[in-house]
Amino acid sequence: MTILKPMSKGFIGGIHLSENKFTESLAIEVMPAPKRVYIPFAQHTGKPAKPLVQKGDLVKIGTKIGESEGSISASIHASISGKVLDIKQHAHPVLGSSQCCVIESDETEDWASGVKEKYDHENLSKEELLNIIKDAGIVGLGGAAFPTHVKLSPPPDKPIDYLLINGCECEPRLTADHRLMLEYPVGVIEGAKLFQKILNAEHLIFCVEDNKKDAAKIFARENEEVRVLNTKYPQGAEKQLIKAVLNRTVPRGGLPMDVGCVVQNVGTCYAAFQAVKFRKPLIDRIVTVTGNGVKESKNLLVRIGTPIIEVINFCGGFVDQPKEIIFGGPMMGISQYAEDVPVIKGTSGILVTKEASIYEEGPCVRCASCIDVCPMGLMPTEIYKLVKNKKFLESEEYGVLDCIECGCCAYACPSKIPLVHYLKYGKSEVWRLSKK
Amino acid sequence: MKDLLIVSASPHIRGRLDISLAMKAVILALLPAWVFSVYVFGWRALLITVMSIVSCMISEAVMQRMLGKKITLDDGSAALTGILLAFNLPPGVPLWLPVVGSVFAIVFAKQLFGGLGYNFINPALAGRAFLMTSWPSFMTKAWLVPTGSTLSGIDSITSATPLTLLKNPANFGPPEVIIQRLNEMSTIKNLFIGKVGGCLGETSALLLLIGGLFLIIVGIVDYRIVTGYLVSFGVLALILPTKANLPFHLFSGGLFLGAFFMATDWVTSPVTKKGRWIFGIGCGVLTAVIRIWGGYPEGVSYSILLMNVFTPVIDRFTKERIFGEQKKGVKS
């Protein structure tokens, strides 16, 4: 099958960044299991999982230690074999601190029973497939960590005709998805086909940016439909991707399913494939470790719950004293405050820098750069002023809740105003006020 | 761990453009016209510009000091105001005039409203308007013959700008002689290159066009304002009754300086895309109306000042369309 051009000219706004994907030619290395893991029960959008184990319990790799609770939640599994030392509050990369299961390794690599055997998945029904995916704790691995079984269960009045597989990886520096597509394309495709079967979607399209043509060629060789998109940030954002590929516009406040689409990340496809084929729950993920503060950059397969410091040590340690450690890419990544923060399901990269990204905030000069680059058509300059003056309800009228926090506005701002920071604050205040 | 890690808000990388770089780019774009002003009007032109820049910068520093703010001369905005104010003065004005104009521009139009980003009208144009109303004799008569002249400039306050001649030919002698003179000095070529009387930096449409296009290409100036301004003005100059033709109107006076460098001022023009079209077209219409029917020979500066005042209203009524927003009247 040939590689097709996208159907539209793309999405509005966006920026062209220096990609700095220095690790794209480095093969994925498997990092050995650490001595100790800290596995948070809240790693996904929605309710935290309910702990199933107690202090002193023995667990194996893949033992379920947390059960998903409520309609939007995901299960949590042990990523090493050993003993539960404690269940306690521990540093968390997104929440600051949260309840974690601390497991100390028994130095064996024993898998829980039933895991890692080969299963026949051809004859499984949609419901069986969904249950397996739910049971394996699969969440979106692009970063937001939305429970995958929920995304795969749209209500019956929202038929899905397009399943888009997101291999854009538009964040600079990150190469985890790229390496996965190059090294395990069959698993990705198999996983995508499972999703297609569950959703009953007529079309399945693999989407990559044109800086990953090698991955596009692999998919094309496997006779899959591929779209090569411009390398433009944030091409991998769901609504922008749907607009660029299908020229469909997700309505304000709506979801991709409102226009008959579901978008799944390539890493999620691969994780689902492993869950269905081997009953392997989500206990590890590919992480790009890079930046001028770490000795060797690597693409690593890391167990969930591994503290950052262990990962850095495996990469040769720090170069000098690190100033900033960022989970994710440079545009949307989150700065970490402790070296024992664990890798979680949504951690796509670890960026270590020798210099801190601190900028002095100047006055807004109304240049409108932020408006020109906003892929959501927002007016960040107006919203930030409203938020700064605590006019939260007015900021909602200006669409603060539509912000996808991509960072284009703050990147473009000549006065270096931390616009995303203000908009995130505005969002949280609007939510708080609306709950009252 | 000895040193604590730093936690900063995303994004962790920023673009190269900052205020200082943008201001420097605008100054660079004005440089050709500046050099040319010295060529046609002599060293006096340079002296006026330097006086203006220096007094703008001193006013800025003194005001910021008095208001207890950080002194931000390095952002280049005060220097730029100085250049633009000087460009809007006749080259024969006494040397204290740019000083007074600069003080008014920086102190009253800019710093008292909160400094950079908070002024609602263009400071340089506010300075010019203040001088216009206070010393109209200098501001409307101190023209120099555009051939290079003495440093004092006193012996050559005899010329007039093409637009002044067009407005009131009878004031300058027998009409037939004046029309002949107008034809001689105002060949389209002279107007385009800039060898005509006028304000210090406004005469060369060609060099301003080069500088302006540079700013549009590097993304500092928005093409919508410039296009809206020039096209709407051009259309009106064609269809309204006037004695001069279209190229005369386009290339004479401060139209190019205004359209490329003054109307496009970030702070005082709308932020929305639609708003910028409206702003540009508004400037064009007002300029044409003032030039053709108004009491002044030139209307660029007052048009822009008037539209500056409308900017907040324009922004309010031309909000950007949010991604996925339904058109009005359709219920989502």
- Domain membership of residue B113 (yes or no) is yes
Sequence-ordered list of residues with C-beta below 8 angstroms from that of B180, at least 6 positions apart, any chain:
none
Say whether both A231 and A169 belong to one domain: yes
Say whether both A134 and A262 belong to one domain: yes
| Closest-CA distance of chain A to residue B331, Å | 11
In single-letter form, the type of residue at position A117 comes to E
CATH of the domain at A63: 2.40.50
For residue A264, the enclosing domain spans 126-278
Compute the Cα dihedral for B266, B270, B274, B280 and give only its sign: negative
- Domain membership of residue B330 (yes or no) is no
> What is the distance between the alpha carbons of residues A273 and A280, in angstroms, rounded to a whole number?
9
- Domain membership of residue A142 (yes or no) is yes
Q: What is the ipTM of this complex?
A: 0.87
Exposed / middle / buried, residue B237 (Cβ in 10 Å: 0-12, 13-18, 19+): buried
Instruction: Give alpha helix (H) positions in chain B.
Output: 19-41, 43-66, 77-87, 96-103, 123-134, 136-141, 162-167, 175-185, 188-193, 205-217, 223-239, 246-251, 255-257, 273-293, 300-317
Into how many domains does chain B fold?
1
Q: Which residues of A touch B317 (CB under 8 A)?
A: none
For residue B40, the enclosing domain spans 19-317
Q: What is the pLDDT of residues B173-201, one digit of tens each?
A: 666 666 666 666 667 777 788 777 788 88
Please indicate whether, in this complex, the C-beta atoms of B10 and A334 are within 8 angstroms of each other. yes
Say whether both A258 and A225 belong to one domain: yes
Say whether both A316 and A334 belong to one domain: yes
Exposed / middle / buried, residue A386 (Cβ in 10 Å: 0-12, 13-18, 19+): buried
Please indicate whether, in this complex, the C-beta atoms of B13 and A321 are within 8 angstroms of each other. no
- Domain membership of residue A224 (yes or no) is yes
Distance set, CA A43 to CA A65, A161, A207, A317 (Å):
13, 30, 26, 26
Say whether both A333 and A396 belong to one domain: no
Compute the Cα dihedral for A260, A264, A269, A275 and give only its sign: negative
The beta-carbon neighbor of B8 closest among A356, A365, A371 is A356
Chain B residue nearest residue A360, CA to CA: B18
Q: Which residues of B touch A357 (CB under 8 A)?
A: 8, 11-14
Sequence-ordered list of residues with C-beta below 8 angstroms from that of A313, at least 6 positions apart, any chain:
none
Please indicate whether, in this complex, the C-beta atoms of A339 and B325 are within 8 angstroms of each other. no
Say whether both A196 and A326 belong to one domain: no
Q: What letters, b where the CB count within 10 A reaches 16 and e where it falls short, cover B269-295?
A: bbbbebbbbbbbbbbbbbbbebbbebe
| Closest-CA distance of chain A to residue B94, Å | 33
Q: Any idea of the CA torsion for B84, B90, B94, B100, to the nearest 10 degrees? A: -40
CATH of the domain at B198: 1.10.3430
- Domain membership of residue B212 (yes or no) is yes
Q: Which residues of A touch B268 (CB under 8 A)?
A: 366
CATH of the domain at A170: 3.40.50.11540
Which of A355, A365, A419, A424 is the best mutation test for B, with the most CBs of B within 10 A?
A365
- Domain membership of residue B11 (yes or no) is no
Into how many domains does chain A fold?
4
pLDDT tens per residue across all 436 residues of chain A: 455 555 557 888 999 999 999 999 999 999 999 999 999 999 998 999 999 999 999 999 999 999 999 889 999 999 999 999 999 999 999 999 999 999 999 999 899 988 878 888 888 999 999 999 999 999 999 878 999 999 999 999 999 999 999 999 999 999 999 999 999 999 999 999 999 999 999 999 999 999 999 999 999 999 999 999 999 999 999 999 999 999 999 999 999 999 999 999 999 999 999 999 999 999 999 999 999 999 999 999 999 999 999 999 999 999 988 899 999 999 999 999 999 999 999 999 999 999 888 899 999 999 999 999 999 999 999 999 999 999 999 999 999 999 999 999 999 999 999 999 999 999 999 999 988 7
Say whether both A213 and A230 belong to one domain: yes
The CA-to-CA distance between both ends of chain B, in Å, stands at 54
Say whether both A191 and A267 belong to one domain: yes
Please indicate whether, in this complex, the C-beta atoms of A364 and B117 are within 8 angstroms of each other. yes
| Closest-CA distance of chain A to residue B144, Å | 36
Say whether both A229 and A299 belong to one domain: no
Q: What letters, b where the CB count within 10 A reaches 16 and e where it falls short, cover A404-426?
A: bbbbbbbbbbbbbbbbbbbbbbb
- Domain membership of residue A119 (yes or no) is no
CATH of the domain at A346: 3.10.20.600
| Closest-CA distance of chain A to residue B72, Å | 10
> What is the distance between the alpha carbons of residues A102 and A40, in angstroms, rounded to a whole number?
9
Please indicate whether, in this complex, the C-beta atoms of B273 and A371 are within 8 angstroms of each other. yes
- Domain membership of residue A18 (yes or no) is no
The beta-carbon neighbor of A366 closest among B11, B15, B266 is B266
Rg (CA), chain A: 21
A381: number of Cβ within 10 Å: 24
The beta-carbon neighbor of B324 closest among A249, A369, A424 is A249
pLDDT tens per residue across all 332 residues of chain B: 456 889 999 999 999 999 999 999 999 999 999 999 998 888 889 999 999 999 999 999 999 999 999 999 999 999 999 999 999 999 889 999 999 999 999 999 999 999 999 999 999 999 999 999 999 888 887 777 665 443 333 333 345 677 776 776 666 666 666 666 666 666 777 778 877 778 888 888 999 999 999 999 999 999 999 999 999 999 999 998 877 778 888 888 899 999 999 999 999 999 999 999 999 999 999 999 998 888 787 889 999 999 999 999 999 999 999 999 876 544 43
Which of A367, A420, A427 is the best mutation test for B, with the most CBs of B within 10 A?
A367
In single-letter form, the type of residue at position B110 comes to K
Say whether both A132 and A272 belong to one domain: yes
Which of B5, B77, B269 is the best mutation test for A, with the most CBs of A within 10 A?
B5
Compute the Cα dihedral for B112, B118, B122, B123 and give only its sign: positive
Pairing assessment for the beta strands A203-209 and A298-303 based on DSSP bridges: unpaired
- Domain membership of residue B322 (yes or no) is no
Q: Where are the beta strands (DSSP E) in A120-160?
A: none
Say whether both A143 and A265 belong to one domain: yes
Pairing assessment for the beta strands A64-67 and A76-77 based on DSSP bridges: antiparallel
Rounded to 5 degrees, what are φ and ψ at B173? Answer: 130, -170
Chain B residue nearest residue A333, CA to CA: B10
Q: Which residues of B touch A330 (CB under 8 A)?
A: 11-13
- Domain membership of residue B10 (yes or no) is no
Rounded to 5 degrees, what are φ and ψ at B50? Answer: -65, -45
- Domain membership of residue B104 (yes or no) is yes
The edge-to-edge listing of strands for the beta sheet with A284-290 is A28-30, A298-303, A284-290, A349-353, A324-327, A334-336
- Domain membership of residue B331 (yes or no) is no
Residue A336 · residue A90 · CB < 8 Å = no
pTM of the model: 0.91
Say whether both A153 and A253 belong to one domain: yes
